[in-house]
Structures are given as structure tokens and as C-alpha cells.
Amino acid sequence: MASHDYDVVVVGAGPVGGRAAHLLAEKGFRVLMLEEHAEIGRPFQCAGLVTPSAMDAVQAHHTVLEEVDGALIHGPSGTLVPVGTEGTLRTYVVCRKRFDQFVVQQAMESGAELWLHSSPEDAKMTEAGVELHIASEGEHRKVTCKLLVGADGAHSWTRRTFKMGRPKELMIGFQTEVVGYEGRDRWLEMYSGQDIAPGFFAWVIPSGFGSHRIGLWSTADRLEGRSIESCYQDLIDHPLWRDRFENVTEVARYCGPVPSGMVKRTVKHRVMLLGDAAGMAKPTTGGGIGPGFHQIQCVLEPLVKAISENRLTEADLKQITKKPWEAMKREQDRARTLRNLLVSDCSDQTLDKHFRTFAHPSTLELINEIGDIEKPVPLGMALLRQVPAFRPLALKAGVRLLLS
């Protein structure tokens, strides 16, 4: 029996790496987390929305800055679609630094080790394990493990080193933290239109202590050479909305990638990708924390067995992940198809028409009944099936869904 320094090495101590390390260390495995930065949770590029199911998983309620009951969504010409119910919690807004630190702390309390200022430089596969060369605090160190987990974010070293493909879409997100915005308590706001966020939307999210996060996201091809900052400026100066932003003072700004669309090869011999590294963010909201948590949770039981038995060949890992992760990929593909059809591939004129339909009381009732941030596909399908104005899109959707 070959001996290893660790059972599992997790590259990246973000929320998903931290969660995976916790779940595996809790089962008694020797787990090492490598984090390239000197601190957990910095720099952060995130609106901080955490769904109730992801929050329940980690019980990090003390990191919550605000609770949100719904979204006030604005069409390009200003049609308002309020989604949510006063007093019914839809999502949390967290301090990402404290959230990430708490998740990593849970891993350490379960026995996982953390090396800060540490990144892998090279990895060699052997029959019995992985030999990893690490630059750590200015020194070179070598460790061996049974399984290497890449939870190292959008530009994953693990994914590139083992040539595991690319996420289908790479959205660019931009966000500022401001004071002086007057919003409705417990509601976030969303703005749409080609000037503001081509194909996607902008957001204003309450982030506690009188501050708000104003951001937007889009893709490079949809931006057609414009910078994401210029779209942000167009939101702030927009004739319909500028009154709302005239008293804001910016205190910070961030820009970051949102990889969405599961990569072709999420596993290889003794290597597994999780979270942003695997392209798990939702195509509809950009949320990546919940899907990353689900991705590890849904394979945990067979994975624990396979690590115990050191059966971690590519075939073993594929067998463990194939069914649950293919289901996640299918759901992601369907959500993207419906998003493109109803929002992303529409001109402002068509989007305005859709918003007028969304705002109709019977459609709003349907949205509030079926709408779920975590599962957008059932709502998209219900809209196409049950709203007469969307029926012409149903055939197109059917064809695209069949081909997706």
C-alpha cells in the first residue's frame, strides 16, 4: 500500500474549496488546502448573494449583511416587474470575506490544513497518487496525495495544467460599493437594456450599514468592444435612472470573471475540478457558490468510498460524477437556452415587449408561484407553455432545447 502525505490536496481556499475540504476532512481524510493569497476572502469580486440552501449548508448566518425578499426588475424602457413577496426571504447578502473565512475555518476545525501564500508549480501523476511541487512562503515543497482537487477559480491552474477544457461562457462582472443610494428595504433592483448590460442585467443590492453594491455583467462578444466600465457609467447617467444615482459616493470598485458552462472534462486521472474552475456559475444569475456546494455534496458518498479504497482513476471518477454532474450540466444548458431566448438574444424593443408581458398580473402570479433563483428552468418552461404571448417562442425553445 503506497503511503501519501495527504489523502486530498485542494488547490484554492475559496468558498467551494473550503466546503470540499470541510466535507472530506470531516470524514477523517488528511486534507491540505493551498491558497495563493496571504489571506482568505481577499480580493473579492462578488455581489454576495447566497441562497438559503447554500446558507443552510454552512450555517454562516452571522456573515449576513442583509436579507432580501425580492427584486424590482426594470425593462429597458422602465416597465417594472416586482418579483417576490414582502416578508418572504428569497436570498441573503453576505460579507464575502467573512463568509469565505468561516467556510475555510470550518474545514480547519474538521482537521484540514491550510497553507497560505502557496501555489502548485507542477504535478506528476503516478499509478498510486499525485506528486505535487508547491511554492510555499518562498520555499519549494513536495507533497504526495491520492486526489488533487482544483477549486482554484475562474482561471484555474489545475484546469489549464491538465488541459480539461474551458467554460462555455466567460462573463465579465463589474461592481462598485457605494453609499448614498436610497433603495427599498429588503429588495434589490435590476436594470436591463443594451446600453446598460448587453444581454444581461445590472443590479443594485443593499449591503448593510447604508451601503449598496451596484454592478453589471455581460460577455465580451455582446460588449462589442465597449468596456464594462462604460456600461456602468451609462447606467449611472441613464435618463430614466440618473436621479436615483445622483447622491451616491463610490467607496470601492471590483471587476472579475464569471465562468458559466461546465467544462468538457471535470475529472481526469486523480484530478477533479470544482466550482468556478469547473464553470459552475449559473447562466441566469452568475451565482457560483450554491452550484459549487451542490457539486461536491452530490458526489460525496461515493467519492469518500473511492478515496478510502484509493480507486481514483479517470474511469472511477467518471463513474462517480457522471450522473449527478451531467444532470447539473443539462440544467445549466437549459437555463442558458431559455435565458438567451427570453432575455439575452433580444433587442431592447423585444425585451420591452417581454417585460410588458412579465408585468401582467397573471404572469406575475405565475412568476411568484414558480419562480426560484435556484431552479430557473421550470419557470422558463411554464412561461412558454402558459403565457399566450410567449407561445410563438415555445417552438423555437423546443428546437433549441433539443439541440442544446
Ligand X SMILES: Cc1cc2nc3c(=O)[nH]c(=O)nc-3n(C[C@H](O)[C@H](O)[C@H](O)COP(=O)(O)OP(=O)(O)OC[C@H]3O[C@@H](n4cnc5c(N)ncnc54)[C@H](O)[C@@H]3O)c2cc1C
Give contact residues for ligand X (rule: CB under 6 A). 11-17, 34-37, 45-49, 119, 151-153, 157, 173, 175, 215, 256, 258, 275-276, 281, 286-290, 292
Nearer to ligand X, 153 or 380 (CB): 153
Nearer to ligand X, 29 or 232 (CB): 232
Nearer to ligand X, 120 or 193 (CB): 120
Nearer to ligand X, 79 or 150 (CB): 150
Task: Tell me the pairing of strands 31-34 and 6-11.
Answer: parallel
Residue 295 CB, nearest approach to ligand X (Å): 9
Contact in structure between 32 and 113 (CB atoms under 8 Å): yes
For residue 254, the cross-strand partners are: 175
What is the grid cell recorded at 286?
A: 452568475
Q: What is the DSSP string of 113-152?
A: EEESSEEEEEEEE-SS-EEEEEEETTEEEEEEEEEEEE--
What is the grid cell recorded at 180?
A: 448614498
For residue 3, the cross-strand partners are: none
What is the grid cell recorded at 90?
A: 428569497
Residue 297 CB, nearest approach to ligand X (Å): 14
Residue in the shown chain whose Cβ atom is closest to ligand X:
288
Nearer to ligand X, 173 or 261 (CB): 173
Residue 76 CB, nearest approach to ligand X (Å): 21
Nearer to ligand X, 267 or 341 (CB): 267
DSSP-assigned letter for residue 14: S
Contact in structure between 332 and 283 (CB atoms under 8 Å): yes
Residue 200 CB, nearest approach to ligand X (Å): 11
Maximum distance among all Cα pairs of the chain, rounded to whole angstroms: 70
